[in-house]
Amino acid sequence: MNMNITKEASMAKAYSSKTSLEITTEAVQIHGGNGYTDLYLVEKYMRDARFFMIGGGTSEIQNLIIAREELKDK
């Protein structure tokens, strides 16, 4: 079985990186000023989430891959 999962992988990367950044940003806001210090792990989680937006291929690249694969299917 030969499956091309490029579009699905890009969709998963784009969704998970966007969602993790939204959630960790909200967590930092809930902690107020302490959310930006190293007293709480939410600061680290937000840095990690931002890294995954870049490290796994930028969101713009993921969106371009999704669009390319969509157009290829038509």
- Which residue ranges form the domains of the chain, and what is each CATH number? 7-73 (1.20.140.10)
**Average pLDDT for the chain:** 89
| The predicted structure's pLDDT at residue 52 | 85
What global pTM score does this model have?
0.78
C-alpha span between 70 and 37 (Å, rounded)? 42
* Radius of gyration, alpha carbons of the chain: 16
| Residue 42 scores a pLDDT above 90 | yes
Given a contact cutoff of 8 angstroms between Cβ atoms, the answer to whether 24 and 42 are in contact is yes
Give yes or no for residue 2 having a pLDDT over 70.
Answer: no
Q: What percent of the chain has pLDDT over 90?
A: 59
The lowest-confidence range among 11-15, 23-27, 43-47, 51-55 is 51-55
